[in-house]
């Protein structure tokens, strides 16, 4: 393939602005797949993705298109995950491109994630083609959106393409713009091979497969290769492109995008951002921007039925084959028994993994509240990282604790600015800046602890701005904070899985609210259950779950056996997600209660 005929591009957009639908139309229009072959939304192909309507795993597809000049072009669409958890993956995908379509919803305008992604694309010097989508909507206002693109992003929107992925309007124009406006890749064939890995997946026959973009040199089937970050040496047993199904090739030149398989057993060998070069005589410097995966959020996963412990381990191992960002290790909790401490890129990632474990592997799990990673500086000068509140060292040995902060960007209509500020302030946010995007919309930036974002920041934002707020955040730094461990005692016993780390100023109120909330969640049992919140030895709140007087069957006078069975079934149903902690039956919600108290 002649490098001059290649165009590598991504699509960047805020969630729901129509990225996947536009991609589908491009694929359909060029006949890459017939309509019948195209199951709805090819690019979002995981069930969960489809249900949630968001892209979790990026996909790549090669589209052949005859340009206005009559020449055939090879357009490689590199899809990017559409969620803040996957910012690093997005940055690697963009590094594989020369251009990007910027999709903006004609009714919604520029949103927080549009901005974050555009800035990243600009950092990579990509040619950006603004596309205003959904112009078929009655509420579409393309002129306002154009103005916003110019004012807020600083891009020339005079040549923005007006499109509707629904009606197909503007699709041809987009394809022509990709050919005409996005530069061809600039790699050189006679240099030693260097290829960027921008994604990976696991195939049960071929092993771990890398999605690659050749920067320089030529990749041939059978070549001896090396991963620069891990030093792993292997042979290219198969190379090819995505149409979108994998299609084998014998060689791939500079600028090409496709896949690479070679006796690589796990996705951990294929690290996103790593550079592939020749085993002998390759490049000496890796491509810039490589970063190892670092989980941001941890939680404990425990099987409700302890006999499922091994099944949980098998399931986690299988999921990890395809997800290098998932980490886990065995953990024991006094309250919950044997389980795993798992690390995730963020809350969505955590949610998706939990759901897959339950759905695909049929596991019933108790999940503990997510925790960020704290840096605990001890008086003896040692620094330990703590991702489980119950592991916090004895307070007398702690000099100080640092916690992760993020830069949070919120975009809202101006009437809601007060609400955003109030919520952010309550969440220990530090105000950074406020700018008007247009007469009506405002961008507010806060420096705020990640743990507060995890709690219920976004839910609160959404509810107090009638859903209008959009949020994006990125890890900023670690800062010292006065943090303490809040323990919960049930029936006089501390329940390790309910411990949390909170700011000292909020500790008393959080303790009270949590005890009160738990009182409503813990079902009444045959005996009274005191619930106490404590910091160190000091009890700061107490509630009682009163004893149950009658058992459920007492209602069934006489012997209506079917009614009795129904009641017992119902009770069993409710018990599914219960875990006996000492003598107390504790439902799943209790472990998440900390996330939604006021
Ligand atoms: P993520 O995968 O989360 O990034 O979302 P997305 O940007 O891929 O959005 P998607 O393509 O899933 O579209 C979101 C919704 O908008 C879907 O319900 C689409 O049917 C709808 N939609 C997309 N394009 C158009 C359009 O041109 N007109 C109208 N009316 N609706 C559209």
Per-residue pLDDT of 416-444, as tens digits, reads 999 999 999 999 999 999 998 877 889 99
Confirm or reject: Cβ of 135 under 6 Å from ligand 1.
no
Q: Is the CB of 142 under 6 A from ligand 1?
A: no
Return the CATH number of the domain spanning residue range 1-179.
3.40.50.300
Strands 6-13 and 72-78: parallel
Specify the pLDDT at position 41. 47
Q: Which residues make Cβ contacts (< 8 Å) with residue 254, sequence separation at least 6?
A: 3, 185, 186, 187, 188, 189, 214, 215, 216, 217, 218
Domain boundaries, the chain: 1-179, 192-276, 295-367, 373-480, 483-594
CB 55 within 8 A of CB 27: no
Q: Give yes or no for a contact between 104 and 133, defined as CB atoms under 8 angstroms apart.
A: yes
Q: Could you please state the CATH topology (level 3) that the domain comprising 483-594 is classified under.
A: Alpha-Beta Plaits (3.30.70)
Domain pair 1-179 / 373-480, same fold: no
Q: Which of 86, 55, 61 is nearest to 74 (CA)?
A: 61
Residue of 237, 277, 231, 227 lying closest to 260 (CA atoms): 237
- Please choose, from the candidates 472, 485, 428, 431, the residue with its C-alpha nearest in 3D space to the C-alpha of residue 451: 428
> Probe ligand 1: pick from 85, 86, 165, 169, max atoms within 8 Å of CB?
165
CATH 3.30.70.240 for domain 373-480: yes
Q: What is the pLDDT of residue 38?
A: 60
pTM of the predicted protein model = 0.78
Q: What is the pLDDT of residue 402?
A: 96
Q: Ligand 1 center to residue 20 CA distance, Å?
A: 7
295-367: which CATH topology? Alpha-Beta Plaits (3.30.70)
CA dihedral 42, 45, 48, 53 (to 10 degrees): -30
Q: Which of 236, 224, 216 is nearest to 287 (CA)?
A: 216
Which CATH homologous superfamily contains domain 192-276? Translation factors (2.40.30.10)
Close Cβ partners of 81 (under 8 Å, ≥ 6 residues apart): 55, 56, 57, 58, 89, 90
CA–CA distance, 450 with 236 (Å, rounded to integer):
41
State the Cα–Cα distance between residues 41 and 244, nearest whole angstrom.
Answer: 12
Q: How many CA atoms lie within 13 A of 311 on its CB side?
A: 15
Burial class (CB in 10 A: 0-12, 13-18, 19+), 457: buried
Does residue 53 line the site of ligand 1, with CB under 6 A? Answer: yes
What tens digit of pLDDT does each residue of 278-299 get?
999 999 999 998 887 788 899 9
Cβ pair 300, 588 in contact under 8 A: no
- Residue segments in the chain with a per-residue pLDDT below the cut of 50: 41, 44, 56, 556
pLDDT of residue 44: 47
């Amino acid at each position: 393939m002649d490098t001059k005929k290649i165009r590598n591009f991504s699509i960047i957009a805020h969630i729901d602005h129509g990225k996947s639908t536009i991609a589908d139309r491009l694929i359909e229009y060029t006949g890459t797949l017939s309509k019948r072959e195209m199951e709805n939304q090819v690019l979002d192909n995981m069930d969960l993705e489809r249900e949630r309507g968001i892209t979790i795993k990026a996909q790549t597809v090669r589209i052949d298109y005859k340009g206005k000049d009559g020449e055939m072009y090879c357009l490689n669409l590199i899809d990017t995950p559409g969620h803040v958890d996957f910012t690093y993956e997005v940055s690697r995908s963009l590094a594989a491109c020369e251009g990007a379509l910027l999709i903006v919803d004609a009714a919604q305008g520029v949103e927080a994630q549009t901005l974050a992604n555009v800035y990243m694309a600009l950092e990579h010097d990509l040619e950006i083609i603004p596309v205003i989508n959904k112009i078929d909507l009655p509420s579409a206002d393309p002129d306002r959106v154009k103005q916003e693109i110019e004012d807020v992003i600083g891009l020339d929107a005079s040549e923005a393409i007006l499109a509707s992925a629904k009606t197909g309007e503007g699709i041809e124009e987009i394809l022509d713009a990709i050919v005409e406006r996005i530069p061809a890749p600039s790699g050189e064939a006679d240099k030693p091979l260097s290829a960027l890995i921008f994604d990976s997946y696991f195939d049960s026959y071929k092993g771990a497969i890398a999605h690659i973009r050749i920067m320089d040199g030529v990749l041939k089937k059978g070549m001896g290769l090396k991963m620069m970050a891990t030093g792993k040496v292997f042979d290219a047993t198969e190379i090819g492109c995505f149409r979108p199904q994998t299609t084998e090739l014998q060689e791939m030149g500079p600028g090409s995008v496709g896949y690479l398989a070679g006796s690589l057993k796990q996705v951990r060998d294929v690290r996103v951002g790593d550079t592939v070069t020749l085993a002998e005589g390759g490049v000496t410097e890796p491509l810039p921007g490589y970063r190892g995966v670092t989980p941001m959020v941890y939680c404990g996963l425990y099987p409700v039925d302890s006999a499922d412990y091994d099944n949980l381990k098998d399931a986690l191992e299988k999921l990890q084959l395809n997800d290098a960002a998932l980490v886990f290790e065995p953990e024991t909790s006094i309250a919950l028994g044997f389980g795993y401490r798992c690390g995730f890129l963020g809350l969505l990632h955590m949610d998706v993994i939990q759901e897959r474990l339950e759905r695909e592997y049929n596991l019933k799990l108790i999940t503990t509240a997510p925790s960020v990673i704290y840096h605990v500086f001890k008086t003896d000068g040692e620094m330990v990282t703590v991702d489980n509140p119950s592991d916090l060292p004895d307070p007398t040995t702690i000099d100080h604790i640092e916690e992760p902060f993020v830069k949070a960007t919120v975009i809202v209509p101006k009437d809601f600015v007060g609400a955003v500020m109030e919520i952010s302030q309550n969440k220990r946010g530090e105000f950074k800046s406020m700018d008007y995007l247009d007469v009506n919309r405002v961008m507010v930036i806060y420096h705020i602890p990640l743990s507060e974002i995890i709690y219920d920041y976004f839910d609160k934002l959404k509810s107090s701005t009638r859903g209008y707020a959009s949020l994006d955040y990125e890890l900023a730094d670690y800062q010292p904070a006065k943090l303490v461990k809040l323990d919960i005692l049930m029936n006089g016993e501390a329940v390790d899985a309910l411990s949390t780390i909170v700011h000292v100023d909020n500790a008393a109120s959080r303790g009270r609210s949590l005890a009160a909330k738990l009182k409503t969640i813990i079902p009444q049992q045959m005996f009274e259950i005191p619930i106490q919140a404590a910091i160190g030895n000091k009890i700061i709140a107490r509630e009682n779950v009163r004893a149950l007087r009658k058992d459920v069957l007492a209602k069934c006078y006489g012997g209506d056996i079917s009614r009795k069975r129904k009641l017992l079934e119902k009770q069993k149903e409710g018990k599914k997600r219960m875990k006996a902690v000492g003598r107390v039956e504790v439902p799943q919600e209790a472990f998440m209660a900390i996330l939604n108290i006021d």
